[in-house]
């Protein structure tokens, strides 16, 4: 290991500029020593400064706070610019208006095609992406909306707040409350779009505009309804949440109706909405009780299902009277226009704040089918025999009656979800479609089985059964999967009745398995294969594509403007191809959790986001067919296969599994109510969810699922690749995503973490470092002597180094590509964070290495405490040490009445281990908190957590 520069004896006050300067100086050493590592070199300097007392953890905390705010502000500025770029001159709707006016200029039929057919929607999803406190995200949204000095100061104050209690505040209910806030802002943006449609129609078609019934991009949510990978959402909780959402929406409708004037019909409708709201709130209160109690269940069920004049389950009871008023020539034009807008809102949202997305896992569906439907045991994987049998079952017309007692008694998750659909449609919201997402779909029989269950419970008329393709197997066979389903008459009849086929594509998981670039290519291929199969069987039908992704590049979000982001998910070429086959593209996109909800955090941000999506679904894609990416198919798919193979090889690499499964999990903070790992199933990387997988790569400084593999995919045809990237908009966008990830990739950071666990490093510093406690470092060296972490991390770093060497050469030859110098300078803040964290990790180990002994009474050793620190279970180590070494109790006032003289009860009590707390336990506690703060600060560079 190269010797690190000796720290100076005199230290200037530590600040961010000084840290940058030190990192630049250390990095310059690579000209003389190719093994120079500026990140770890600076970490060693800081370690020795901490050991000698020249620096304190408080100083490091101050620098981390500086870094946190700087990265946060840079993120907020990028976020603000993304929204400010929508529209023209601060008007987010200007471009949408131009699109609508252009369509109107082509005639009423073209205009109607654009505004009265379903084009797509926005889906709010959750999961562990709430790393930032709600207070901080609200300050972020306010600053991004109006980045003035006052908002900046508020943002800084929120960034500096410790928010230590935030993780405990993250629950399913808190996530639901946050999504409802985002949905409310999205609803207001949708209303603005509806008003714009009516405004353009009135100008263009003065004699026909009252007949136009706008169809708005929909809003949907799975928060409170997604059971994939979690068992903590009871069916009654989902019912209660839906009732609460219905009550909120009815209250909104009442407010809107009363604001439109004193027309008797409107007043009667407002009264109807208010009475229905009161009834719904009463029902929600009952379903929020303990429904494991039979008496509570019976009362709640009977109240909701009983006939009641106040009960409203069909939104058409509101829209019908509105339509009559709109068509009445006696209704003033301004009022009629307002009524068209309100009717469009009700059409889109029905009797809820958003449409429901239920989600289960394919395994849950298979369990029901195999156990309950009597399928042959030799076909337990649901192969052709099961598909044939289920197709026949799906033709049956018999519908099972369902009540809440059935829901109470049913133990199967999948069957219970279908029963819940039936109860929602019967008693809460009869006319709102429900999406039924099936995660990890790899078998068409699963979908056919879901259709059978839907018909069995009489909900197939309102249920969009949607397979989710995300695993490598599903990405490879998804086209044939749908082709096989389209051979079944029962399934074709179902699609004709629904008017579209629904599918879901998972960018996060596909990127985890085969890399983001290869995952994008595979997903686009499925889009087109399914579109082709659908066009051959059912021309004129719609293809609803729900693309789920996170907000960071490693989970499918494009690091550019909204147009680039949405086109990245469902390409112009794909949309044009679908239209050419007489298939209507219907595009849904996700905004996930704390990071995604930010796009709807204020009225300004929400309008910009929704307007950008409207631009996307209204866009003319007729010129998208000339991209050479789609013509040089042999070369492109050879590169895809090589890229995919590189990532698949990495995914099963034992060293990669060690990297993800070892100490790095200690970098993760609680960021959501769903578990980090999948319950049961395979171990290793497959057990780690996509969000956490990506968060681990971020925290290690190597977003390899986005940055890597391209260099290795075309080693012999680099020139041809460069030529195609520069000529093809599609391939250029994919490589630019990878390039952005490359800008954030730091092999010195990964190698630095490897060195933290290298016994050679600890022994060398113990002998030659500027420290006082050499023995404690030697104890750490002993603890890590058999640790495989160092070897695994260095092996992975070597693999990445070979790949990135080739990718860097490709990047250097591209048009508008960033330089290596730019990359190095932009990484300084990240390098500073990682160097500080590596120093703090080593300092924590050194502190525990200095323990002379640990009480045998507590059946724990110094080595056990060291293991906790090595695994970054620092909080657990602190709690253990506090139990063994309690601090002095300040209870002398309670025992002042004891007359007998004593030593411990005097003014200078020595009953506790106060010096142990000052010198070991308190610094460990600060170290753990500092590591967590660095984790949160680090995510800003990536635009999201995970």
What is the distance between the alpha carbons of residues 656 and 707, in angstroms, rounded to a whole number?
16
Spatial CA neighbour of 709 closest among 633, 809, 804, 796: 804
pLDDT tens-digit readout, 371-414 = 766 664 344 456 677 787 787 887 777 889 999 999 999 988 89
What pLDDT, in 10s, does the model give residues 71-86? 999 999 999 999 999 9
The pLDDT of residue 392: 80
CB 708 within 8 A of CB 807: yes
Higher pLDDT, 688 or 901: 688
Q: Percentage of the chain surpassing pLDDT 90?
A: 79
- Opening angle at CA 648, ends 646 and 650, nearest 5: 70
pLDDT > 70: what percent of the chain?
A: 94
Which residues have a Cβ under 8 Å from the Cβ of 320 and sit 6 or more positions away?
A: none
Look up residue 61 and give its two tokens: 């905390």
Dist CA 387 CA 369 (whole Å): 11
Q: What is the 3-state secondary structure (H, E, C) of 48-94?
A: HHHHHCCCCHHHHHHHHHHHHHHHHHHHHHHHHHHHHCCCECCECCH
3-state secondary structure of 234: coil
Distance CA 212, CA 198 (A): 8
pLDDT score for 769: 87
The pair of three-digit structure tokens given for residue 222, joined into one six-digit string: 């799975």
State mean pLDDT over 526-549.
96
Question: Which pLDDT band, with edges at 50, 70 and 90, does 163 fall under?
Answer: confident
pLDDT at 379: 46
User: What is the model's pLDDT at position 795?
Assistant: 97
Going from the C-alpha of 340 to that of each of 273, 347, 393, 404, 864, the distances in angstroms are 18, 10, 43, 37, 69
Give pLDDT, residue 839. 98
Distances (CA, A) of 224 to 221, 227, 242, 852, 903: 8, 8, 9, 51, 59
For residues 56-62, average pLDDT: 96
Structure tokens at 228: 């994939």
For residue 11, the model assigns a pLDDT of 72
> Which three-class secondary structure state does DSSP give residue 31?
helix
- Residue 662 CA from chain centroid, whole number: 23
| Beta pairing class for 542-548 and 500-506 | parallel
Which pair of tokens denotes residue 160?
């500096």
pLDDT (0 to 100) of residue 755: 97
For residue 787, the model assigns a pLDDT of 80
Distance of CA 834 to the CA centre of its chain: 24
In contact, 136 and 154? CB cutoff 8 Å: no
Q: Is the pLDDT of residue 229 over 80?
A: no
Q: In the beta sheet, which residues pair with residue 361?
A: 439
Q: Quick one: which of 399, 369, 387, 391 has its CA closest to 489?
A: 391
Region 665-679 average pLDDT = 82
Compute φ and ψ for 303, nearest 5 degrees.
-65, -45
Q: CA 539, CA 326: separation in Å to the nearest integer? A: 34
Per the CB < 8 A criterion, the answer to whether 623 and 491 are in contact is: no
Rounded CA gap, 50 and 920, in Å?
Answer: 13
Q: Are 289 and 296 in contact (CB under 8 A)?
A: yes
- What pLDDT score does 78 carry? 97
Tell me the per-residue pLDDT of 566-586, one tens digit each, with 9 for 90 and over.
999 999 999 999 999 999 999
Pick the closest to residue 18 from 835, 921, 878, 908 (CA basis). 835
pLDDT score of 8: 44
Please enumerate in sequence order all residues whose Cβ is within 8 A of that of 517, keeping only pairs 6 or more positions apart, or say none.
643, 706, 709, 710, 734, 735, 737, 738
Question: In the 3-class helix/strand/coil scheme, how is 536-605 assigned residue by residue?
Answer: HHCCCCEEEEEEECCCCHHHCCCCCCHHHHHHHHCCHHHHHHHHHCCCEEEEEEEEEHHHHHHHHCCHHH
Q: How confident is the model at residue 683 (pLDDT cuts 50, 70, 90)?
A: low
State mean pLDDT over 240-251: 98
* Distance from C-alpha of 4 to C-alpha of 537, rounded to nearest angstrom: 69
* pLDDT reported for residue 377: 38
In this prediction, residue 3 carries a pLDDT of: 42
Provide the pLDDT for residue 5. 44
Residue 202 contacts by C-beta under 8 Å, 6 or more apart in sequence?
Answer: 209, 333, 337
The distance from CA 484 to its chain's CA centroid, rounded to whole angstroms, is: 32
Q: What number of other Cβ atoms are within 10 A of residue 32's Cβ?
A: 8
* DSSP string over 692-720: HHHHHHHHTT--HHHHSSHHHHSTT-HHH
- The predicted pLDDT at position 912 comes to 61
Let me know: does 503 contact 485? Beta carbons within 8 Å: no
> What are the structure tokens assigned to 95, written together?
């471009």
Distance, CA of 866 to CA of 864 (rounded, Å): 5
Contacting residues for 72 by C-beta, under 8 A, at least 6 apart: 136, 140, 155, 159, 937, 940
- What's the alpha-carbon Rg for the chain, to the nearest Å? 30
Q: How far is residue 504 from each of residues 87, 366, 589, 793, measured CA to CA in Å? A: 29, 19, 10, 35
Residues 779-834 pLDDT 10s: 999 999 888 899 999 999 999 999 999 999 999 998 877 888 888 898 999 999 99
Give the least confident one: 136-150, 378-392, 832-846.
378-392
Residue 717 confidence class, pLDDT cut points 50, 70, 90: confident
Q: What is the pLDDT of residues 590-630, one digit of tens each?
A: 999 999 999 999 999 999 999 999 999 999 998 887 899 99
Structure-block tokens of residue 283: 């029902």
Q: What is the band of 936 on the pLDDT scale with cuts at 50, 70, 90? A: very high
818 contacts 811 by C-beta, under 8 angstroms: yes
The tokens 């590189």 sit on which residue?
646
Q: Which residues of 605-628 are buried (b: 16+ CB within 10 A; e: fewer)?
A: bbbbbbbbbbbbbbbebeebeebe
CA distance 538 to 581: 10
Report d(CA 562, CA 545) in Å as an integer. Answer: 18
| Residue 46 CB contacts under 8 Å (≥ 6 apart), including other chains | 55, 60, 835, 836, 839
Using alpha carbons, list the distances in angstroms from residue 452 to 409, 462, 463, 526: 21, 14, 12, 25
Decide: residue 701, CB within 10 A, 0-12 exposed, 13-18 middle, 19+ buried.
buried
Token pair, residue 764, equals 């060398």
User: What are the structure tokens assigned to 88, written together?
Assistant: 């023209």
Contact (Cβ atoms closer than 8 angstroms) between residue 459 and residue 425:
yes
| Cα within 13 Å of Cα(181), Cβ side | 19
Rounded CA-CA distance 604/87 in Å is 12
Instruction: Look at residue 898 in the predicted model and tell me its pLDDT.
Output: 64
Rounded to the nearest 5°, which phi and psi values hold at 780? -65, -45
pLDDT attached to residue 902: 58
Report d(CA 183, CA 219) in Å as an integer: 7
Q: Where are the beta strands (DSSP E) in 103-172?
A: 120-125
Give me the chain's average pLDDT, please. Answer: 92
| CA-closest candidate to residue 939, choices 747, 663, 701, 593 | 701
- The pLDDT value given to residue 897: 64
Torsion of CA 143, 145, 149, 151, to 10 degrees: -40
Residues 226-254, mean pLDDT to the nearest whole number = 93
Burial of 767 (0-12, 13-18, 19+ CB in 10 A): exposed
């Amino acid at each position: 290991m190269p010797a690190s520069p000796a720290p100076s004896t005199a230290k200037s006050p530590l600040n961010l500029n000084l840290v940058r300067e030190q990192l630049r100086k250390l990095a310059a050493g690579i000209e003389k020593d190719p093994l120079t590592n500026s990140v770890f070199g600076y970490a060693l300097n800081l370690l020795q400064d901490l050991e000698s007392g020249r620096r304190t953890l408080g100083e490091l905390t101050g620098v981390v706070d500086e870094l946190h705010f700087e990265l946060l502000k840079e993120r907020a500025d990028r976020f603000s610019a993304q929204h400010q770029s929508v529209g023209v001159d601060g008007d987010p709707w200007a471009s949408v208006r131009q699109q609508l006016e252009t369509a109107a200029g082509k005639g009423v039929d073209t205009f109607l095609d654009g505004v009265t057919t379903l084009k797509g929607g926005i889906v709010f999803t959750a999961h562990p992406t709430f790393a930032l406190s709600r207070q901080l995200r609200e300050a972020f949204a306010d600053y991004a909306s109006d980045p003035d000095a006052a908002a900046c100061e508020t943002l800084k104050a929120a960034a500096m707040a410790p928010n230590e209690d935030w993780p405990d505040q993250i629950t399913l209910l808190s996530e639901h409350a946050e999504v409802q806030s985002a949905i409310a802002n999205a609803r207001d943006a949708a209303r603005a779009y509806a008003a714009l449609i009516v405004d353009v129609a009135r100008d263009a078609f003065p004699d026909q505009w009252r007949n136009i019934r706008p169809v708005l991009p929909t809003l949907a949510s799975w928060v409170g309804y997604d059971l994939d990978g979690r068992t903590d959402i009871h069916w009654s909780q989902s019912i209660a949440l839906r009732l609460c959402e219905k009550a909120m929406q009815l209250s909104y409708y009442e407010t809107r109706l009363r604001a439109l004037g004193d027309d008797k019909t409107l007043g009667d409708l407002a009264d109807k909405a208010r009475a229905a709201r009161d009834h719904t709130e009463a029902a929600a209160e009952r379903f929020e009780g303990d429904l494991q109690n039979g008496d509570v269940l019976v009362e709640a069920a009977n109240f909701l299902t009983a006939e009641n004049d106040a009960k409203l389950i069909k939104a058409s009871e509101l829209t019908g009277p509105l339509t009559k008023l709109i068509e009445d020539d006696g209704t003033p034009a301004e009022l009629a226009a307002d009524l068209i807008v309100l009717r469009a809102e009700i059409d889109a949202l029905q009797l809820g704040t958003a449409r429901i997305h239920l989600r289960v896992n394919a395994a849950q569906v298979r369990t029901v089918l195999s156990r309950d439907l009597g399928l042959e045991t030799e076909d337990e994987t649901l192969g052709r025999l099961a598909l044939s049998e289920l197709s026949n079952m799906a033709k049956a017309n018999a519908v099972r009656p369902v009540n809440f007692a059935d829901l109470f008694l049913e133990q199967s998750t999948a069957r219970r979800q279908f029963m819940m659909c039936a109860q929602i449609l019967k008693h809460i919201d009869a006319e709102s479609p429900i999406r039924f997402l099936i995660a990890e779909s790899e078998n068409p029989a699963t979908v056919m089985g879901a259709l059978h269950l839907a018909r069995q419970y009489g909900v197939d008329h309102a249920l969009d059964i949607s397979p989710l393709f995300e695993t490598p197997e599903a990405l490879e066979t998804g086209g044939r999967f749908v082709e096989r389903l389209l051979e079944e008459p029962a399934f074709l009849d179902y699609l004709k009745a629904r008017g579209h086929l629904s599918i879901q594509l998972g960018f996060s998981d596909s990127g985890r398995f085969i890399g983001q670039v290869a995952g994008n290519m595979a997903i686009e291929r499925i889009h087109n294969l399914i579109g082709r199969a659908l066009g051959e069987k059912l021309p004129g039908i719609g293809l609803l594509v729900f693309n789920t992704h996170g907000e960071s590049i490693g989970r499918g979000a494009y690091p550019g403007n909204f147009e680039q982001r949405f086109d990245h998910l469902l390409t112009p070429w794909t949309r044009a191809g679908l239209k050419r086959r007489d298939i209507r593209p219907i595009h849904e996109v996700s905004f996930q959790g704390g990071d995604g909800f930010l796009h709807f955090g204020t009225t300004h941000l929400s309008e910009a986001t929704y307007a950008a999506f409207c631009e996307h679904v209204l866009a003319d894609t007729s010129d998208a067919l000339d991209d050479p990416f789609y013509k040089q198919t042999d070369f492109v798919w050879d590169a895809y296969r090589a890229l995919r193979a590189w990532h698949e090889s990495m995914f099963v690499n034992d060293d990669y599994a060690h990297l993800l499964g070892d100490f790095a999990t200690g970098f993760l903070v609680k960021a959501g109510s769903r578990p980090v790992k999948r319950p049961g199933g395979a171990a290793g990387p497959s057990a780690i969810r996509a969000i956490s997988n990506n968060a681990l790569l971020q925290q290690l400084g190597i977003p390899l699922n986005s940055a890597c593999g391209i260099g290795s995919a075309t080693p012999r045809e680099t020139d041809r690749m460069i030529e195609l990237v520069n000529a093809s908009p599609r391939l250029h966008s994919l490589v630019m995503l990878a390039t952005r990830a490359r800008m954030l990739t730091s092999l010195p950071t990964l190698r630095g973490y490897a060195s933290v666990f290298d016994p050679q490093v600890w022994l060398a510093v113990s002998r030659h470092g500027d420290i006082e406690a050499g023995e404690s470092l030697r104890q750490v060296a002993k603890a890590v002597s058999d640790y495989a972490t160092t070897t695994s991390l260095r092996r992975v770093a070597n693999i990445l180094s070979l790949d990135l060497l080739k990718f860097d050469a490709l990047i250097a030859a591209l048009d508008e590509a960033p330089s290596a110098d730019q990359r190095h300078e932009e990484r300084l803040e990240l390098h500073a964070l990682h160097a500080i964290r590596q120093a703090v990790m080593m300092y924590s180990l050194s502190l525990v290495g200095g323990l002379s002994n640990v009480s045998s009474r507590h059946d724990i050793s110094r080595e056990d405490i060291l293991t906790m620190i090595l695994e970054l279970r620092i909080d657990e180590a602190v709690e253990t040490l506090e139990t063994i070494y309690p601090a002095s109790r300040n209870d002398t006032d309670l025992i002042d009445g004891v007359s007998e003289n004593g030593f411990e009860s005097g003014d200078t009590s020595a009953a506790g281990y106060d010096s142990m707390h000052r010198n070991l336990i308190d610094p460990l506690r600060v170290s753990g908190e500092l590591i967590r703060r660095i984790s949160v600060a680090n995510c800003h560079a990536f635009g999201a957590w995970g």
